[in-house]
Amino acid sequence: MEFHLIDFIEHTLNIVVLFLLLRTFLYQPVRKFMRDREAKFAQEREQIDESRTEADTLKAQYELSMKNAKLEAEKLAEAKLRSAEHEAEDLRKKAKQDAQLLLTDAMAQAATERDGMLTELKSHTAELAVDIAEKILERSQAGGSPTRDRQFLRQGRLTAEIACFSAVSAD
């Protein structure tokens, strides 16, 4: 094997040309593709980080609004409870006043009825007294005995007392 300089230069030129061709057509596009891919991944990571930050912000806002809504609901429930308690107290007071009014009316009606019954009792007692007196006078005129008249008077008084007692106890 002989060494020929021309062959060496030719092979060297072929290698250099092959290197330049490979670099131009293969290495540069692959390198550009890799840089683009890295840039795309970096951009996607950036978007993911931004989305995560936005999601964290939205989550914090959601938690804050839920906390505020819960506090508002508690305040509303407390206000409704106080309102219901006041309303119940007002109803109790009104019922107590109504009951007191009914009781007062009933007492007044009972007093009126009692007065009417006492008046009626007095008139009956007076009628009984008049009847007894009439009967005593009739007996006296017919010739009755004073002992018998006293017994009749006692019986009439006893009847009047029983009528008074039963009228008072009926009240």
Domain locations in the chain as residue ranges: 5-170
Are the beta carbons of 125 and 164 closer than 8 angstroms? Answer: yes
pLDDT 10s digit of each residue in the chain, 171 long? 687 899 999 999 999 999 999 988 888 889 999 999 999 999 999 999 999 999 999 999 999 999 999 999 999 999 999 999 999 999 999 999 999 999 999 999 999 999 998 888 888 887 887 787 777 777 777 765 666 656 666 666 666 666 656 655 655
* Of 81, 159, 87, residue with least CA distance to 124: 159
How many residues in the chain? 171
Q: Can you give the pTM of this predicted structure?
A: 0.41
**Farthest CA pair distance, the chain:** 199
Tokens of 107: 């007492």
